[in-house]
Amino acid sequence: MSDGRRFRGRTALVTGGSSGIGLAAARRLAAEGAEVFLVGRDPCKVASAIEAARAAALPGAAVDGEVADVTDPVAMDAAVATAAGMGRRLDVLVAAAGINGEGKDALELDPAAFTRVLDVNVRGLLLATQSAARAMIADGAGGAVVLVASVNAFQTERCFADYNASKGGAVLLARSLALDLADRQVRVNAVCPGYVRTPMTEPSLADPATLSGILAHIPLGRVAEPDEIAATIAFLASDEAAYITGSAVVIDGGRSA
């Protein structure tokens, strides 16, 4: 059973760690004793996230971060090296960086914007995992990777073909990486949240009519909070999930039941 210190002595890298689910994951891992290095796109948000994670951290657990582009392999290698240097090695990667789609009918999608969504939401996960996994297998000890996908991988929404496709790709990427890396003791899983109250979803959730329509399809009758997703991420990254790899865990309040 967990004593709330599952990650003491371990080091984690969190991409997309400056807000939403990524920030919640960084805070949760730090609260359980991990040395945490988070990356994001906005300098102000990264600085604020570092302070928030430090405030939540278990005494003695260090938290730091930097601005980095998850679609740049050099930046991901550098982030992994810096994260690993905070402790004895890199043990955990939480790849939470992602962007929304255009919110347009499929026939009106901008091909360039479509490419950007796939670049961040799929290729960004691959690059982060490649960099992290190379570090994790260098000493033969392996590690745990959690990719943040979405329930949209399984239950699509209209006018979100770009986002739906990217999250479907994220799930299949997680499963493929799990197969390829299992013999090197790197576990890879995905979490697939439904609607979560984050900066990306807040504009929709702030509209009463839109929120009512969303809640009508969620049996639990509410949207999730980022900390609820972070709890599952922490479980999958911990030794309690040592026999779980290649899974896509849906966390959607029953929406896809």
Pairing between β-strand 11-15 and β-strand 92-95 as defined by DSSP bridges? parallel
Q: Judge whether 163 counts as a catalytic residue.
A: yes
- For 225, the 3-state DSSP assignment is coil
In terms of Cα–Cα distance, which of 99, 103, 81 is closest to 90? 81
Task: In whole angstroms, give the CA distance from residue 29 to residue 120.
Answer: 23
State the burial class of residue 182 (Cβ atoms within 10 Å of its Cβ: 0-12, 13-18, 19+). middle
Q: What is the DSSP string of 53-120?
A: HHHHSPTT--EEEEE--TT-HHHHHHHHHHHHHTSSS--EEEE----------GGG--HHHHHHHHII
Q: Which of these, 250, 251, 229, 243, lies nearest to 94 by C-alpha position?
A: 229
Q: What angle do CA 186, 192, 194 make, to 5 degrees?
A: 160
Establish how many alpha carbons lie within 13 A of residue 107's alpha carbon, considering only the half-sphere containing its beta carbon. 0
N residues, the chain? 257
For 144, phi then psi, to 5°, come to -130, 135
According to DSSP, the residues that pair with 187 across neighbouring strands are 144
Q: Catalytic one among 7, 37, 114, 163?
A: 163
Catalytic residues: 163
